Amino acid sequence: MDPLVGKYIGTGLVMLSTIGAGIAIGKIGSSALDGISRNPDTYGNLMTTMILAIAFAESLAIYSLVVAFLILFG
Amino acid sequence: MTTKSENQTVSSTKKQNNSKIWLFMLLILIVLNVLVVRWYKPVEPEINIATESILFHTENGEIKSDPWFTLPLVGPVYLTNTTTAMALVLITLLIIAAAVRRQTKDGQLRATGIVMAIESIFTALISMVDSAVEEKWRDRIYPFFLTIFLYILIANLTKLLPFYETFGFAHPVASEGFLADKWTSFLYAIRSTPAAEGEQGYRLVSLFRGATTDLNFTLALALVTVVMIQVMGVQAHGIGYFNKFINIRAMRENPKSGLIQVFVGILELIGEIAKIASFGFRLFGNMFAGMVLLSFLGYMVPWLVNAFIMLYEAFVGILQAFIFAMLAAVFMSMAVRSEHSSS
């Protein structure tokens, strides 16, 4: 078998970790929406906090993306 | 429209004509682009994590990088194509700064041109972090916050300029090269056709590559930011700031809870190191992913869609600059008002 196959399968497996980030971002978004709909005055405050939390959750997916890039092009 | 005065209607039609000329020129450029690419396929950008040195010599048909200068302990330092892009970013920032300085020298506020643009950007940014930063520390934190935002913003947006990654030095290689047309004695156009056996192949070493697609650049920025966070903490609490990491007094007073404090301190220390990694990798990952996306989309949809992805990349660039700067500001405000301030 071509050794390149292993490289591509590995890249695909690494990107599985985006599932967790997807769940996290969905939860953050839904909770922020809950908060905003309960108290619309907090919109500005919540928005900043939400973007911050999403950036944290997303950075975990970005780690796996960097590893995938290293496997593919490194 | 009929209720408006004649004067206004005239000016609006003039404006419409003006914008129509621009649209027309844009359309011509798009058509020209499609036709030229159909007849003359340009070289594809090479995707590589490592950056290329623009100082090189050719040896037996292979590229060998020459060091720019050599430092005693660090070793050779290369003039990479991201370094040149960084120089371009700094020149752009200096031009903006000089323009703003020239227009505000007389101390009067003006709501025109570049001053207006910069001021509205800064006002919007400051209003977003105002609730997170204490009033006492705003004068200390905001200059760093706004500087780092402008720096990353310009670096991310200049990455999308047309000559990035496609303009550079062509030089002959022995294998895996592409055919090139010789336009003049020093101007070559590399085509995307691979050179066959017996033909002279050429490779491209691009002169510019987006500064934020280099891991060294983003990690250096992250390092500077995290060091600045510690500096802010020390400025706020003196040497007692380091009690956050190693709490000697609590250990002496109560050995049992002191042991817990040791583990909390280790966790805090790991948190600071994780900040460097998350700052650096987030920016690098997003920008490099944009580069890969643009180049792979060219294989799937040859035209039109790339333009929209380019627009999306501009949006991602602004968003990542904002996230980097805002996280830095929030971490700094967390460092200056830690719970140890009461003791």
Both structure tokens of B216: 């060294």
Q: Is B198 left (phi over 0), alpha (psi -120 to 50) or beta?
A: left
- Kindly state whether B49 is in contact with chain A, defined as any CB-CB distance less than 8 angstroms: yes
Q: Report the C-alpha gap between B267 and B259 in whole angstroms.
A: 13
Position B321 scores a pLDDT of 92
Residue B335 lies in a domain: yes
- Please report the ipTM that was assigned to this predicted complex: 0.75
Residue B277 has pLDDT above 70, yes or no: yes
Residue B336 lies in a domain: yes
Q: Report the C-alpha gap between B211 and B291 in whole angstroms.
A: 12
Identify the residue with better confidence: B342 or B123: B123
Residue B260 has pLDDT above 90, yes or no: no
- Kindly state whether A8 is in contact with chain B, defined as any CB-CB distance less than 8 angstroms: no
Residue B172 lies in a domain: no
The per-residue pLDDT for range B7-57, each reduced to its tens digit, is: 444 555 555 666 788 888 888 988 887 788 777 776 777 777 778 887 877
Query: CA A8 from chain center: how many Å?
Result: 21
Of B318, B276, B311, B279, which Cα lies nearest the Cα of B293?
B311
The residue of chain A with its CA nearest to that of B128 is A48
Could B326 and A48 be called an inter-chain contact, meaning their C-beta atoms sit closer than 8 Å? Answer: yes
Residue B184 lies in a domain: no
Question: What's the whole-model pTM score?
Answer: 0.82
- Kindly state whether A55 is in contact with chain B, defined as any CB-CB distance less than 8 angstroms: yes
List the domain boundaries for chain A.
Answer: 3-73
CATH number for A3-73: choose from 1.10.10.10, 3.80.10.10, 1.20.120.1200, 1.20.20.10: 1.20.20.10
Count CA atoms closer than 13 A to A68's CA, side-chain side.
21
Q: Report the C-alpha gap between B164 and B208 in whole angstroms.
A: 5
Collect all residues of chain A within an 8 Å Cβ-Cβ radius of residue B323.
Answer: 51-52, 55
Nearest Cβ partner for B281 among A51, A56, A63: A63
Dump the DSSP string for B270-297.
HHHHHHHHHHHHHHHHHHHHHHHHHHHH
Q: Report the C-alpha gap between B71 and B74 in whole angstroms.
A: 5
Could B132 and A73 be called an inter-chain contact, meaning their C-beta atoms sit closer than 8 Å? Answer: no
The per-residue pLDDT for range B216-231, each reduced to its tens digit, is: 899 999 999 999 999 9
The per-residue pLDDT for range A11-26, each reduced to its tens digit, is: 999 999 899 999 999 9
Q: How confident is the model at residue B339 (pLDDT cuts 50, 70, 90)?
A: low
Residues 22-51 of A with CB under 8 A from B: 44-45, 48, 51
Residue B174 has pLDDT above 80, yes or no: no
Of B136, B340, B140, which Cα lies nearest the Cα of B237?
B340
Question: What average pLDDT does the segment B148-170 reach?
Answer: 87
Position B13 scores a pLDDT of 55
Residue B97 has pLDDT above 50, yes or no: yes
Which domain range does residue B150 map to? 80-167+207-342
Position B1 scores a pLDDT of 39
At B128, the amino acid letter reads M
Computed over every residue of chain B, the mean pLDDT equals 81
Q: How confident is the model at residue A4 (pLDDT cuts 50, 70, 90)?
A: confident
- Kindly state whether B82 is in contact with chain A, defined as any CB-CB distance less than 8 angstroms: no
**Contact (Cβ atoms closer than 8 angstroms) between residue B294 and residue B309:** yes
- Kindly state whether B112 is in contact with chain A, defined as any CB-CB distance less than 8 angstroms: no
A24 min Cα distance to partner chain B (Å) = 16
Residue B3 has pLDDT above 90, yes or no: no
Position B12 scores a pLDDT of 52
